[in-house]
Amino acid sequence: MTSTVVQLDRASLRKMLMPLALAQFICSFAGSNMNVMINDIKTDLNTTIQAVQVCITLFLLVMAALMIPGGKLTDKFGRKRCFITGLAIYGLGALISAVAPGIGVLAVGYSLFLGVGTALLIPPVYILVTILFRDLKSRAWAFGVVSGMGGIGAATGPLIGGAIATALSWRAAFVFQAIIVAVIVLLARGLVDPLPADPDRPFDVVGAILSALGLVLLVGGIMAADSNLALMAILMAAGAIILAGFFAWIRNRERAGKEVLLSTSLFRNRTSNLGMVTQNVQWAMLLGSAFAVSAYLQVVRNYNSIQTGVIFTAATVGILASSLAQGALAKRFKQRTLIVAGFVVAIPGMIVLIVMARGNPSPWYFAPGLFLMGAGVGVMLTPSVNVVQSAFPENLQGEISGLSRSISNLGSSLGTAIAGTILVAGLGEGNQSYGYAILALACMGLIGLVAAIFIPRAEIPAGAEAASTAAGVA
C-alpha cells in the first residue's frame, strides 16, 4: 500500500497537489461569489433576496449533509474516481446554473448539483494529501496550500464574481467555474491513488440518510426563524432527534460488527473534536460575514457587484498574507497556539466591522474589519485541518475527512443561515439588522476561541511515526 508513495519524488507530489488545491479553491469560490450577485439574480430571475439566500444556504447545506457519505464512498470506489466524478457533476451543475430561466432551476444547478459534486470531490482532496504526504512537516505544508487556496477562494469569490457579473453577467460566473473544473480534470489525469478501492465494501445507506436528513432539518429550522418560530422549533427538534437516532444506529451496527458510516471512535478523540469545533466556527464567521456584508451593501446601500467585490479585497489580502506566513509561523508556534491566535485576531475584526462601518457612508470603513477577520481565519485554517486529519491513522482517513469537511461546511451553512435570517428579516431596519447579524457571528467566534483554548497542549498526532518518504517537499 505504501510502495506507491515511496516512489513519488518531490516534483511528482507537487504536481499532484495542484489539482487538489485548485479544486478546494473553486468549491470555496462557489460558496462566496454568489453573495455579490444577489441583486443581479433577484432582478434577472424576478425573485426575492430571501430566495437567493435560500439557494446559497442550500448549496452549503447539501455539501455538509453529503460530505460524510462522500468520504465513505472513497473507500468503496477509490479516491481518484470519486474526485473525477465529483468534478463532472460540479461542472454540469455550473452549466445548468448558467442557463437557469428561474430560481427553481438555479437551485437545481447550484444548490443540488454543485453541492453533490463538491461533497464527492472534497473528501478525496484531504484524504490524498494525508496519505501522499507522509511526514508531518510536508503534510502541514500541503494542508497549508490546500486550506490557503480554500480561504483565498472564499475571499476572492466576491471580487472575481463581482467583476465577471459587472463586466458580463452573473451567468458568466458559472461558465468561469465550468472552465476551471475542466482544467482541474486535465491536471488530475496524473493523480495517483495510493490506496486500492474496495468495491465489495458495504455502504451504510440508512446511516447516510439519517445523518443527511438530521443536518438538513437542523439548518432548515434556523432558516425558518425569520418567519415562523414554531416551525423553527419543530424542525430543529426533529433534526436533533434524527441525529440522535443516527448515533444510536451506528453504535448498534458497530457492536454487531457491521460496516458503519462513521466509526464512533472518531468522537472519542478530544483533540480532533475540539479541532472540528474550531473548523465549524471559522467557516461560519467567514461565509456568514461575507453574506451579511454583501447583502447589506447591495440591498441597503445599493452597491453593484463589482463595488461590493472590491470591498472584499481587504479580506482577501488578510487571508493571503496569513497563508503565506503559514510556513514561518508553523516553525515557531504550536498548531493550538495558531488556532487561538486566529480567533484572537478575527473576533475583534468582527467588532470593528460593526463599529467602523455601521452608519458610515464610506464603504472603505469595512476594510479594517474585513482585513482582521480574513487574517485571523487565514492563520487558523491550516492548523485546525492538520490537527484533525493527523489525529487518525490511514484506515480512518476516509471517515474523518468526510466528517471534518462536513463539520466545516455545516459551519458555512450555519453562518450564512444565521446571518441571512437576521439580516433578511430586518432589512428595512438597515444598520441595526446588519449589526445584529455580525454580532451573532462574533459570539460564535467566542465559542471557537474557547474550544481552541482547550485543545491539548501536547500535540502528538496519530501517524506521526509514519515514514518520511516525502520529507523535504516543503
List, for residues 208-239, the tens digit of each pLDDT value: 899 888 888 887 787 776 667 788 888 889 98
The pLDDT value given to residue 315: 82
> Smallest Cα–Cα separation from 133: which of 266, 258, 232, 9?
9
Residue 431 lies in a domain: yes
Residue 471 lies in a domain: no
Tell me the Ramachandran region of residue 460: left when phi exceeds 0, alpha when psi lies from -120 to 50, beta otherwise.
Answer: beta
> Smallest Cα–Cα separation from 328: which of 474, 153, 147?
474
Domain containing 78 equals 9-191+206-261+268-453
User: Which span out of 18-22, 60-64, 191-195, 400-404 was modeled with the highest average pLDDT?
Assistant: 18-22
In one-letter notation, the amino acid at residue 465 is E
The pLDDT value given to residue 430: 56
Residue 200 lies in a domain: no
- Place 113 in a pLDDT band, splitting at 50, 70 and 90: very high
Residue 237 lies in a domain: yes
Record the cell numbers describing residue 103, joined without a space: 430560481
Whether pLDDT at 70 is above 70:
yes
More confident residue, 44 or 424: 44
* pLDDT average, residue stretch 398-420: 77
* pLDDT average, residue stretch 273-289: 89
Record the cell numbers describing residue 187, joined without a space: 491536471
Tell me the Ramachandran region of residue 89: left when phi exceeds 0, alpha when psi lies from -120 to 50, beta otherwise.
Answer: alpha
Residue 300 lies in a domain: yes
Q: What is the pLDDT of residues 429-447, one digit of tens each?
A: 556 778 888 899 999 999 9
Under 8 Å between Cβ of 459 and 336? yes
Q: How many CB atoms lie within 10 A of CB 103?
A: 19
Residue 93 lies in a domain: yes
Q: What is the pLDDT of residues 321-371, one digit of tens each?
A: 887 776 677 778 888 889 999 999 999 998 988 887 666 666 677 888 889
* pLDDT average, residue stretch 113-131: 87
Give me the CATH number covering residue 56: 1.20.1250.20
Residue 106 lies in a domain: yes
* Tally of domains in the chain: 1
Residue 59 lies in a domain: yes
